[in-house]
Chains A and B, each alone.
Chain A
Amino acid sequence: MSNAISLTGVTKQFNGTRAVDDLSLSVPTGSIYGFIGPNGSGKTTTLRMIMHILLPDRGEIEVLGSRDTAAARDKVGYLPEERGLYKKMTIRRLLRYYGRLKGAPISDLDASTEYWMRRMELPGLLDRQIETLSKGMSQKIQFVAAVVANPSLVILDEPFSGLDPVNAQVLKDAVLEIRQRGATVVFSTHDMATAERMCDRIFMIFRGRKVLDGTLESIQSEYGADTVRIRTSHGAAALAGMPDVESVNDFGQLQEVRLQGDPQAFLTRLVARATVYHFEVTRPSLQDIFVRIAKP
Chain B
Amino acid sequence: MRKAFIVAQSEFLTLVRSKAFLIGLILMPVVMGTSIMLVRATKDATDMKDRTFAVVDYTGVVAEPLTAVANMYNAGTASPLDAVLPRKGPRFIPVEIKPTGANPDELRVELSNRVRKQEFFAFVEVPAEILDPASTVAIRYYSDHPSYNALPQWLRATVNAVVLNERFRRASVDRALVVRLTKQAPINELGLFERGTDGEIKAAEQVNIARAYGIPVAVLALMYITIMSSAPQLLNSVIEEKMSRISEVLIGSVTPFELMMGKLVGGAAASMVLSAIYIAGGLIVVQYWGGGYASAVTGAIVAWFLLFLTLALFIFGSLFIAIGAACNDLKDSQNMMTPVMLLVMVPMFTAGSVLRAPDGTMATILSLVPTAAPFLMLLRISLQPGPPMWQIALSLIIMTCTAVAVVWAAGKIFRTGLLMQGKSATLTEMVKWVTAK
Query: Most chain-A Cβ atoms within 10 A of its Cβ — which of B244, B253, B254?
Result: B253
A101 and B248 alpha carbons, distance in the complex (Å): 13
In the bound assembly, the distance between CA atoms of A255 and B200 in angstroms comes to 109
Q: How far is the CA of A86 from the CA of B419 in the complex (A)?
A: 17
B252 at the interface (CB under 8 A from A): yes
Please tell me if B249 contacts chain A, counting CB pairs below 8 Å.
yes
Judge whether B246 and A145 touch: CB under 8 Å.
no
User: A13 to nearest B CB, angstroms?
Assistant: 13
Could you tell me if B245 and A80 are in contact, using CB atoms closer than 8 angstroms?
yes
Q: Are B6 and A82 in contact (CB under 8 A)?
A: no
Residue from the set A53, A78, A145 with the largest chain B CB neighbour count within 10 Å: A53
Known: A54-B419, A70-B255, A97-B6. Contact between A86 and B246, CB under 8 A? yes
Q: Which residues from chain A contact B14 at a C-beta distance below 8 Å? A: 86, 88-89
A266 interfacial contact with B, CB 8 Å: no
Q: How far is the CB of A258 from chain B (nearest CB, A)?
A: 38
The number of inter-chain residue pairs (CB within 8 angstroms) is 55
**Does any Cβ of B come within 8 Å of A76's Cβ?**
yes
Whether B244 lies near A84 (C-beta < 8 A) is yes
B419 touches A78 (CB 8 A): no
Q: A53-B419, A54-B419, A97-B6 are in contact. Are A73 and B248 (CB under 8 A)?
A: no
Number of A residues near B (Cβ < 8 Å) is 26
A295 interface residue, CB < 8 Å from B? no
Q: Is B140 an interface residue (CB 8 A)?
A: no
Beta-carbon contact of A51 and B252 below 8 Å: yes
Q: Which of A51, A70, A100 has the most CB of B within 10 A?
A: A100
Produce 1/0 per residue, B215-249, CB < 8 A to A. 00000000000000000000000001101111011
- A82 near B255: Cβ-Cβ < 8 Å: no
Closest Cβ–Cβ distance, residue A158 to chain B (whole Å) = 12
Contact of B252 among A78, A83, A88, A97 (CB under 8 A): A78
Q: A87 and B254: CB pair below 8 A?
A: no
Cα(A85)–Cα(B10), bound, Å: 14
Q: How far is the CB of A150 from chain B (nearest CB, A)?
A: 14
Note all chain A residues with C-beta closer than 8 A to B254.
101
A98 close to B (CB within 8 Å): yes
Q: A53-B419, A98-B253, A101-B254 are in contact. Are A84 and B3 (CB under 8 A)?
A: no
Tell me if B6 and A84 are in contact (CB < 8 A): no
**B249: which A residues are within 8 A, CB to CB?**
78, 80, 84, 98, 142, 145
Q: Is the CB of A80 within 8 A of B248?
A: yes
Q: Does B207 contact A (CB under 8 A)?
A: no
Chain A residues with CB under 8 A of B18: 88
Q: Judging by beta carbons under 8 Å apart, are B245 and A101 in contact?
A: no
Asked if B150 is at the interface (CB within 8 A of a chain A CB), the reply is no
Q: Is residue B251 contacting chain A, with contact meaning CB distance below 8 A?
A: yes
Is residue B250 within 8 Å, beta carbon to beta carbon, of the partner chain?
Answer: yes
Interface residues in A141-189 by Cβ distance below 8 A to B read 142, 145
Rounded to whole angstroms, the CA-CA distance of A43 and B348 in the bound complex is: 52
Most buried by A among B7, B249, B250, B254: B249
A214 to B93, CA, bound (A): 104
A residues 82-130 near B (Cβ < 8 Å) are 82-89, 97-98, 100-102
Docked complex: B249-297 residues within 8 A CB-CB of A: 249-255
Name B419's closest neighbour in chain A (CB-CB).
Answer: A53
Given A53-B419, A100-B6, A101-B3, check contact A84 B253 (CB 8 Å).
no
Chain B residues with CB below 8 A from A78, complex form: 249, 252-253
Q: Which of B11-35 contact A (CB under 8 A)?
A: 14, 18
A85 in contact with B246 given A97-B6, A97-B10, A101-B3 (CB within 8 Å): yes
Q: What are the interface flags for B48-82 relative to A under an 8 Å C-beta threshold, 1 for contact and 0 otherwise?
A: 00000000000000000000000000000000000
Q: Which residues of A contact B244 (CB under 8 A)?
A: 84-87
Q: Give residues 45-68 of A contacting B (CB, 8 Å).
A: 48, 51-54
Contact B246 A101 (CB under 8 A): no
Known: A82-B245, A82-B248. A101 touches B253 (CB 8 A): yes
A144 nearest CB across to chain B (Å): 12
How far, in whole Å, are A183 and B342 apart by their CA atoms in the complex? Answer: 53
Q: How far is the CA of A97 from the CA of B241 in the complex (A)?
A: 14
CA distance A97 to B254 in the complex (A): 12
Residues of A within 8 A of B243 (CB): 84
Q: In this complex, what residue of B is CB-closest to A157?
A: B248
Given A85-B246, A86-B246, the answer on whether A80 and B6 have CB atoms closer than 8 Å is no
CA distance A74 to B246 in the complex (A): 17
Residues of B with C-beta under 8 A to A98: 249, 253
A103 to B133, CA, bound (A): 91
Q: Are B245 and A73 in contact (CB under 8 A)?
A: no
Q: Which positions 26-59 of chain A face chain B at CB distance < 8 Å? A: 48, 51-54
13 further interface pairs, Cβ-Cβ under 8 Å (given A48-B248, A80-B249, A101-B3): A74-B253, A78-B253, A80-B245, A83-B245, A86-B244, A86-B246, A88-B14, A97-B6, A101-B6, A101-B7, A101-B253, A101-B254, A102-B253
Of the A-B pairs whose beta carbons lie under 8 Å apart in the complex, a sample of 22, sorted by A's number, is A48-B248, A51-B252, A52-B252, A53-B252, A53-B419, A54-B419, A70-B255, A78-B249, A82-B248, A83-B245, A84-B241, A84-B245, A84-B249, A86-B14, A86-B240, A89-B14, A98-B253, A100-B6, A101-B6, A101-B250, A102-B253, A142-B249
A interface residues, Cβ below 8 angstroms from B: 48, 51-54, 70, 73-74, 76, 78, 80, 82-89, 97-98, 100-102, 142, 145
